[in-house]
Amino acid sequence: MNDIIRMTAADLATHLQSGEISAVDATQAHLDRIEAVDTDVHAFLAVSSDALDTARRIDERRAAGEKLGPLAGVPLAVKDVLVTTDMPSTSGSKILEGYMSPFDATVVRLSREAGLIPIGKTNMDEFAMGSSTEHSAYGPTRNPWDLDRIPGGSGGGSAAAVAAFEAPLALGSDTGGSIRQPAHVTGTVGVKPTYGAVSRYGAIALASSLDQVGPVTRTVLDAGLLHDVIAHHDPHDSTSLKDVWPSMADAARSGARGEGLAGLKVGVVRELTGNGFQAGVQSRFDETVALLTQQGAEVIEVSAPHFEYAVAAYYLILPAEASSNLAKFDSVRFGMRVQPEGGGTVEQVMAATREAGFGPEVKRRIILGTYALSAGYYDAYYGSAQKVRTLIQRDFNTAFEKVDVLVTPSAPTTAFKFGEKLEDPMAMYLNDITTIPANLAGIPGISVPIGLAPEDGLPVGIQVMAPQREDARLYRVGAAIEALLEQQWGHTLISQAPALGGK
Amino acid sequence: MAKDALMDYDKALELFEPVLGFEVHVELNTKTKMFSSAPNEFGSAANTNVSPVCLGLPGALPVVNEQAVRYAISLGLALGCSIAPSSRFARKNYFYPDLAKNYQISQYDEPIAFEGSVDVEMPDGRIVTVPIERAHMEEDAGKLTHVGGSTGRIQGAEYSLVDYNRAGVPLVEIVTDIIYGAEADAPELAKAYVATIRDIVTSLGISDAKMERGNLRCDANISLRPRTAAGEPPAPLGTRTETKNVNSLRSVERAIRYEIQRQAAILASGGTIIQETRHWHEDTGRTSAGRPKSDADDYRYFPEPDLLPVEPSVELIEELRAALPEPPAARRRRLKADWGFTDLEFQDVVNGGLLVEITETVAAGATPAAARKWWTGEISRVANVQGVEASALVSPENVAALAGLVDTGTLTDKLARQVLEGVIAGEGTPQEVVDARGLAVVSDDGALIAAIDDALASQPDVLAKIRDGKVQAAGAVIGAVMKAMKGQADAARVRELVLERAQS
């Protein structure tokens, strides 16, 4: 059983296809692992009671000779921001405690159709607001590398589940780094696809113009396999692209064979290195860049002068959209309802419910966003932020005229300790300084593990960014980096993670 | 509700100039809603025409109904507007339980159609051009029913029920520019304007346009400004009120007249007009204060990030332009000629807002003259007495059927009026009322001859006169026969038979 949980999704899929491992066995092994370690990790908010039945049906269909998708029978963890019909969907908030959706998110539907087995819903900062999962209404998730540290956020649950071998694959959502930053601090792989590549239908919206669903895995190839399942045009999402995508799994395989690095122009963003970056994060990043040069890549320093305004612009656009997106949580049609003492008008019931149902970070951002959109302030705040957004897109365009991909450390620091930044929202916000620009520009980004920081022994990731619609390029380069490093180390990074729960 | 002081209308016009503006909401009759595949149907059981999108469920996203966009473009073109090559939806944020998402998706600073005008025909035949500022797309809200209070309003209610069937129904809101110069005809212009919009959307086939169902809703903005002496600059515009709940053409006219008289009384006594919405009460013929409204209302509009801009192709716009029905004024000219009505007759029809009804009645088989006679005559009279729209009383098909029964001699005009009364009372089609009430003309000559012979026998002096060639004397006998037949006889036939029997 130990073998099953430590397999990559690609290997597990091969064994499932050959019949050596059944979907039921694969599912049971992961359910057992959750049972064993999740008391410590707390990656899951709900575990599916249907998973074994679903797995049994997959086995029956395979036995009947039905042609199934390449990932059929592989368990999948689903971030709680994605609505599901068979498990509650809370988005990490008390206001949605126990909420059952009458429909599946499109990505969940596509995953089920591909034969993946949703085994549970993963923890997250409330409504995806945060970089540590400390803002989950259901308590934080712990980093499998060090249980006293944060697993990143908002998708700390998905990253920790994958890092702790509780699931081989997970779905996340990335509004300003919620897939990539958790991947960075947990030694896993996370991809934010091009905006519009993956449907947002059924993803409980944080900031509609920034949100994007993507894969969270232990290897680049696994991410590519899951990406191929979920990246399709969806008529339910007006911002969904109609592109027919090349296979990301194929791109990853070609990258792993070492194709594509020779002559690749790699841009290092001057504004996102050096000052403000933890020494061990910076040194691992520099070593990786040097490795790319050795392999024939041309490394060019590029400047993105407007990136310094990215965090400020982001923290106006996001709260503005969120303040409106979260207005629907009013107790009238679903979710928590709090009656003020002695009854109350509908307005008072709405206010009491939102007072009790939302946590402090959510309230902070609703207030911020409401203010930013107010008459008389709109131009100065929301309007200016949109202009900055355009300037950042131009910075990327200029950079991509010179280079094929951009690289940065995925986050400024390794995993910090619980409570370290909880009282200082600005410090927490700045942890996303590297990941936010990609969301503002709608371009894709990947975080790939590149080693441990010498000073604390915690994982570090490199972020690779490509122009819009060039997601395949990320997989090629990401897989190449992964293969080179594993060759150098003689093992995967995740294999160095400490054992959990003494089991 | 305290009674408002009202100034005499003519006096009010002497002192003030009424300034108007209208917002007309048109519910489009698309199969599905503005942003979801939920059915757009009237009269279904509460909360059955709903989807995750119109309920604002977590994770749901809107998708623009392309048919609604086509309808909106057609309407914009019919209003003489320019069609924006790119227009955008925005979110209008406010908390209200009939608004599932607590924001309404509406076009704000980038409407699909802008800067047009509509020619409106006044009761005296004059054409007034009403300037259109914009026509934009948006979604309707759900419907609240307040239970337990005496007024049906939210004040004093014990609880409220929400029906989201209407939530997300596609609307086009037509906003006029400020309308000056209507003067004493302001109420008539208001009515004629709304009737024209109704004609346009009906001829486009994009809305059921039934005001009593809320398919067509008019918010009437009105303010008064004091007149200044010749040579002096005009006074600044007065504070406006916005009257809602105006659910018939007749109410539009009455509400404007009422507001002019109410505002004039306040201003003349040194008071100030409060900028507010006012509710029109059909029963009392008054308006009452609603929500205070100010330009500072902050809806925190911002571009709807879930939707892309609406960018109709030039080809689509031209295709829709080519398919436009003739404009109402041209249509009227044509109908007047087709129907052979005199100026006076036609104005009667227009003023009664009965163009659509007569068109449909003629289409159902009646002669134009008969259709006009019924609609402008008896039906309008009953509508006036009952204080409702003529169109709400009886269908064009039933009017045509009624006219048919008169044509074939089954009914006399007098009998037909009784049948109409039955139809209006909901007793069925004209034929069903005829059968049930036994109202058909007695066409059995035998029965008539028996009655005539009785009458002639009892009035020998009359018989003698007729035989002397004084046929006008027959009137007395005819009257007696009609009375004996309880009116259910064709007077012309009776006359023929009287003359025949008198000679025999």
CB within 8 A of B124, min separation 6: which ones? B347
Element housing A316 (H / E)? helix A310-325
Query: Which of A365, A335, A324, A360 shows the shortest CA–CA distance to A95?
Result: A335
One-letter amino acid for residue A13 of the chain: A
**Is A103 near chain B, with CB under 8 Å?**
yes
For the question of residue A283 being annotated catalytic, the response is: no
Q: Among A204, A370, A375, whose Cβ lies nearest the Cβ of B59? A: A204
CB atoms within 10 A of CB B288: 14
Cβ neighbours for A103, distance < 8 A, ≥ 6 positions apart:
A83, A85, A202, B52, B57, B59
* Alpha helix ranges (H) inside A7-155: 9-18, 23-41, 51-63, 106-113
- In DSSP terms, A132 is beta-bridged to none
- Average pLDDT value for chain A: 96
Nearest residue of chain B to residue A203 (CA atoms): B59
User: Which chain A residues are Cβ-neighbours of B57 within 8 angstroms?
Assistant: 101-103, 328, 333-334
Q: What is the pLDDT of residues A67-101, one digit of tens each?
A: 999 999 999 999 999 999 999 999 999 999 999 99
pTM beyond 0.90: the answer is no
Predicted local confidence at residue A301, as pLDDT: 97
Asked if residue B250 lies in contact with residue B191, where contact means CB atoms within 8 angstroms, the answer is: yes
Q: List chain B domain ranges.
A: 9-321, 326-437, 445-503
Nearest chain B residue to A210 by CA distance is: B305
pLDDT digits (tens, 9 = 90+) for B16-59: 999 999 999 999 999 999 999 999 999 899 999 999 999 999 99
Taking 70 as the pLDDT cut, the residues of chain B under it are 1-2, 151-152, 293-296, 443
Is residue B262 classed as helix, strand or coil in its secondary structure?
helix
Is A380's Cβ below 8 Å from some Cβ in B? no
Question: In this complex, do B300 and A375 lie within 8 Å of one another by their Cβ atoms?
Answer: yes
Q: Identify the residue with better confidence: A388 or A259.
A: A388
Give contacts of A327 with chain B, Cβ < 8 Å. Answer: 93, 95, 101-103
Provide the residue type at B380 as one letter.
S
Instruction: Indicate yes or no: CB of B306 within 8 angstroms of CB of A205.
Output: yes
**What gap in Å lies between CA B267 and CA B226, rounded to an integer?**
9
Hey, is the C-beta of B58 within 8 angstroms of any chain A C-beta? Answer: yes
Instruction: Give CA torsion, residues B69, B73, B76, B77, to 10 deg.
Output: -170
Q: Which residues in chain A have Cβ-Cβ distances shorter than 8 Å to B64? A: 238
Which ipTM did the prediction report? Answer: 0.96
B149 part of contact set with chain A, CB < 8 Å: no
Any chain A CB within 8 A of the CB of B33? Answer: no
Report the gap between the CA of B142 and the closest CA in chain A (Å): 12
Nearest in space to B339 (alpha carbons), one of B295, B380, B372, B384? B372
CATH of B445-503, one of 2.40.30.10, 1.10.10.410, 1.10.3720.10, 3.40.50.2300: 1.10.10.410
Considering only alpha carbons, which residue of chain A is nearest residue B99? A328
Instruction: Annotate A88-135 with DSSP letters as a single string.
Output: ---TT-GGGTT---SS--HHHHHHHHTT-EEEEEE--SGGG--SSSTT
- Across B40-99, the runs of DSSP E, i.e. the strands, are 82-83, 89-93
Predicted confidence (pLDDT) at residue A503 exceeds the cutoff of 50? no
Q: What are phi and psi of B192, to 5 degrees?
A: -65, -35
- Please name the residues between 293 and 322 in chain B that touch chain A, using a CB distance below 8 Å: 296, 298, 300-302, 305-308
Give pLDDT, residue B10. Answer: 96
Separation of alpha carbons A120 and A161, rounded Å? 10
Find the catalytic residue in A79, A121, A192, A421. A79
Q: What is the pLDDT of residue A145?
A: 98
**CB-CB: which of A89, A346, A374 is closest to B298?**
A374
Interatomic CA distance for residues A153 and A158, integer angstroms: 9
pLDDT at residue A502, rounded to an integer? 47
CB pairs under 8 A between A and B: 100
d(CA A241, CA A199): 9
Q: What is the pLDDT of residue B158?
A: 84
**A19 is written with which tokens?**
């019949």
For domain A2-270+402-496, the CATH class is alpha beta
The total of other beta-carbon atoms located within 10 Å of residue B408's CB is 9
* Cβ–Cβ gap A238/B306 under 8 Å: yes
The C-alpha atoms of residue B20 and residue B194 are separated, in whole angstroms, by: 13
Q: Does B103 touch chain A (CB under 8 A)?
A: yes
CB contact under 8 A, A375 and B55: no
Q: Which of B102, B144, B155 to probe the A interface (max A CBs under 10 A)? A: B102
Mean pLDDT of A470-485: 98
Beta-strand runs (E) in A41-199:
44-47, 75-79, 117-122, 169-174, 189-192
What are the pLDDT digits (tens) for A357-390? Answer: 999 999 999 999 999 999 889 999 999 999 999 9
Residue A44 banded pLDDT, cuts 50, 70, 90:
very high
- Ordered by start, the domain boundaries in chain A are 2-270+402-496, 310-383
Which chain B residues are within 8 Å of A323, Cβ to Cβ? 93, 300
Please check the confidence at residue A41 and state whether its pLDDT lies above 90: yes
Residues B154 and B145: their CA atoms lie apart, in Å, by 8
